Amino acid sequence: MLLYNRDCRRSFTKDAKFWLAPDVKSSTIMNEFEKKTERAQFLISKMSHLVVLHDRILLFRKYVGAEKESLDGAPNTMITVERTRLVEDGYRQLSMLSSNALKATIRVKFINQQGLDEAGIDQDGVFKEFLELTLKRVFHPDLNLFKVGSFACLLKTSYA
């Protein structure tokens, strides 16, 4: 696995199928994974490169679809964040939610600089704005959680 991870960063070979085991059928692994066999769970978690990317994407989408169906009818969660304390308020409120609540719909209400509720109905637009602003602030170099490494990659700092 270490070699595969290293190859992902700087490839040893130009052959895209180098890491695929020709004797292993990804459909067999996928079928076993859907049956939740221990062996397939291990292979997907530790050696996912044995299954072609397209099949892994399909598996992921299927898994997400099943999760969405299981959450139908789950209650919405409303969080309130001040624009001046976006990261702090968001982290504090989201960290208290269960994993199922995090997967369900989250509505956001902003408080402006004067301490008043901002007008706006969250039909995923306000939540999208919350995510965009939060990510911009979290990854900003001034916050010192991440630094820009070689090849413009973000690396976690020792303070994070």
Could you tell me the CATH number of the domain that includes residue 141? 3.90.1750.10
Q: Where does the pLDDT of residue 14 fall: very low under 50, low under 70, confident under 90, or very high at 90 and above? A: confident
Same domain, 34 and 66: yes
Residue with tokens 């978690």: 45
Q: Where does the pLDDT of residue 28 fall: very low under 50, low under 70, confident under 90, or very high at 90 and above? A: confident
Alpha carbon distance 154, 5 (integer Å): 17
| Domain that residue 114 falls in | 77-156
Q: What is the pLDDT of residues 80-136, one digit of tens each?
A: 999 999 999 999 999 999 988 998 889 999 998 888 888 776 666 788 999 999 999
Q: Which of 54, 70, 86 is the last residue of a domain?
A: 70
Same domain, 102 and 143: yes
The per-residue pLDDT of the chain, averaged, comes to 82
CB 132 within 8 A of CB 147: no
Same domain, 64 and 81: no
Burial class (CB in 10 A: 0-12, 13-18, 19+), 77: middle
Q: Which of 22, 39, 70 is the last residue of a domain?
A: 70
Same domain, 56 and 96: no
Same domain, 90 and 152: yes
Domain count, the chain: 2
> Is this prediction's pTM over 0.75?
no
Which residue type does 1 have? M
pLDDT of residue 81: 94
Alpha carbon distance 115, 160 (integer Å): 30
